[in-house]
Amino acid sequence: MLNQSVKKFWKKLPRLCLIGMVGIMPSINKVAGQGFESLYEAKVFTHKGKTLPYRIMYPKNFNPEQKYPLVIFLHGSGERGNDNQKQLVHGASLFANDSVRSRFPAIVVFPQCPEDDFWANIKENPNQQGYRSIEFLPESKPTAAMDLLIRLVNGLKRESYVDSRRIYVGGLSMGGMGTFELVARMPKVFAAAFPICGGSNPESAKRYAHKVKFWVFHGAKDDVVPPQYSIDMVSSIRKLGGDARLTVYPDAGHNSWDQAFREPELLLWLFSCKK
């Protein structure tokens, strides 16, 4: 379970995320009006009475006899809940774009973390200057949401139509932290990962540095999740001989996902990665 200070801070993030949404809402609404959300089928994963809502989009002209890449995307804390809808606010429209679906046919999954949980196992610790710092605990027991997510991924990767050599994960903010931790817990599964404004314990990189390719994004002016977390993760992966790209946007704050989603090479890079 998360400590109370962590819960209080991350419950404030919907307001912070709203700032980032202002600039992109017109394009999101335009796609939504074209049936964007309906492309993602609503499902619920259940294990021992616990549930994890998720949305899944299949490729155009889906053929279960073929094999497709699988993309898992983890939302931020502002999209937590159980409506199985809020998690589509950021990123889902990118993969639902008609030209993207034609060029990169893939199975895309957006799970939704419960309101009172967190993708990554973290502890918030205020430092001497009064600023918040985050202790990442990927070696500890996974949160309930992470445990369900791992089970969901294990189930999806066993499907005959999933290309086991091309399974990817990305996420923003809380989801960026969850991306690093999910890869640490499942290093043999993922071919590539793209965490945005996230972070983790650099020591955990030894689990996956030689197994998973990374493209990490952050805003230099992020005052919610310090960019140093991403810088440290990339440095650790590289020191271990891993393949990690880093893009820090000099004028971006926390909502660096806006720029990351506009990167012309992101999807080209992602879908070119194989185990």
At residue 17 the predicted structure's pLDDT band, cuts being 50, 70 and 90, is: very low
Q: Residue 186 in contact with residue 211, Cβ under 8 Å?
A: no
Measure the CA–CA gap between 216 and 195, rounded to whole angstroms: 5
Q: Residue 135 in contact with residue 125, Cβ under 8 Å?
A: yes
Find the helix or strand (DSSP H, E) in which 238 lies.
helix 228-239
- Say what angle helices 13-22 and 4-11 make with each other, to 10 degrees: 30
Strand ranges for 173-255 from DSSP E:
192-196, 213-219, 244-249
pLDDT surpasses 90 at 22: no
Q: 146-170 in b/e burial notation, b at 16+ Cβ within 10 A?
A: bbbbbbbbeebbeeeebbeebbbbb
Predicted pLDDT of residue 130: 54
Strand ranges for the chain from DSSP E:
41-47, 50-57, 68-74, 107-111, 122-126, 132-136, 162-172, 192-196, 213-219, 244-249
Predicted pLDDT of residue 139: 86
Mean pLDDT of 177-206: 98
Predicted pLDDT of residue 36: 86
Measure the CA–CA gap between 232 and 238, rounded to whole angstroms: 10
Torsion angle, alpha carbons of 207, 209, 211, 212, to 10: 110
At residue 33 the predicted structure's pLDDT band, cuts being 50, 70 and 90, is: very low
Residues 105-163: pLDDT tens digits? 999 999 999 999 999 999 987 665 555 689 999 889 999 999 999 999 999 999 999 99
Q: Which tokens is 218 given? A: 């952050």
Helix, strand or coil for residue 163? strand
Domains of the chain: 4-272 (3.40.50.1820)
Between 237 and 24, where is the model more confident? 237
Strand partners, 53: 44
Q: What is the mean pLDDT of the chain?
A: 90
Sign of CA dihedral 82, 176, 218, 97: negative
Q: Is the pTM of this model over 0.75?
A: yes
